[in-house]
């Protein structure tokens, strides 16, 4: 049902000005999820699917830990990023690593 309503509204979710109702909805969902999970401070957004969410999470985590990735890419000096992906993880993590320019031999399982 939510997918049907979302498709019918075709809301861009770019900004409050572009989609006030869904932006407020997103804020409510993020706050409720924050309370539910026990975090005191949260931020977030609603994505269209699990793969996109996993890949975005990987990009955000990498940027948060190494902001210089924006200007220096996946190498910090002589060090290269290594990604640990559980054998039980969803395949979207491998896609995420590849799409973010990580060499496949550095995806450790
Ligand atoms: C943990 C997990 N990640 C990613 C996905 C992929 O989601 P989507 O098909 O919406 O991209 C799924 C799908 O079931 C999943 O369970």
Dist. CA 63–CA 20, nearest whole Å = 28
The answer to whether residue 84 sits within a structural domain is yes
Same domain? For 102 and 68 the reply is yes
Q: What rounded mean pLDDT belongs to the chain?
A: 86
Confidence of residue 7 (pLDDT cuts 50, 70, 90): confident
The answer to whether residue 89 sits within a structural domain is yes
The answer to whether residue 59 sits within a structural domain is yes
Give the mean pLDDT of 50-67.
Answer: 93
- Predicted local confidence at residue 104, as pLDDT: 67
The answer to whether residue 44 sits within a structural domain is no
Report the number of distinct structural domains present in the chain: 2
Task: Please indicate whether residue 38, judged by its CB atom, sits closer than 6 Å to ligand 1.
Answer: no
Å from CA of 52 to ligand 1 middle: 8
Å from CA of 71 to ligand 1 middle: 30
Alpha helices in 1-109 (DSSP H): 2-9, 20-37, 50-65, 69-72, 92-99
- Closest CA relative to residue 58, chosen from 100, 30, 10: 100
Task: Please indicate whether residue 56, judged by its CB atom, sits closer than 6 Å to ligand 1.
Answer: no
Q: Are 22 and 11 in contact (CB under 8 A)?
A: yes
- Predicted local confidence at residue 76, as pLDDT: 76
Largest CA distance in the chain: 50
Residues above pLDDT 90, as percent of the chain: 36
The answer to whether residue 42 sits within a structural domain is no
The whole domain housing 54 covers 50-108
Å from CA of 96 to ligand 1 middle: 12
Tell whether the model's pLDDT for residue 55 goes beyond 70.
yes
């Amino acid at each position: 049902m939510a997918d049907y309503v979302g498709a019918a509204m075709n809301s861009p979710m770019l900004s409050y000005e572009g989609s006030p109702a869904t932006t407020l909805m997103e804020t409510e969902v993020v706050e409720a999820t924050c309370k539910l999970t026990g975090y005191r401070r949260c931020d977030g957004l609603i994505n269209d699917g699990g793969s996109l969410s996993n890949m975005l999470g990987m990009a955000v985590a990498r940027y948060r830990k190494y902001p210089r990735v924006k200007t220096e890419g996946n190498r910090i000096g002589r060090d290269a990023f290594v990604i640990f992906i559980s054998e039980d993880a969803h395949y979207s993590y491998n896609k995420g690593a590849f799409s973010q320019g990580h060499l496949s031999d550095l995806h450790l399982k």
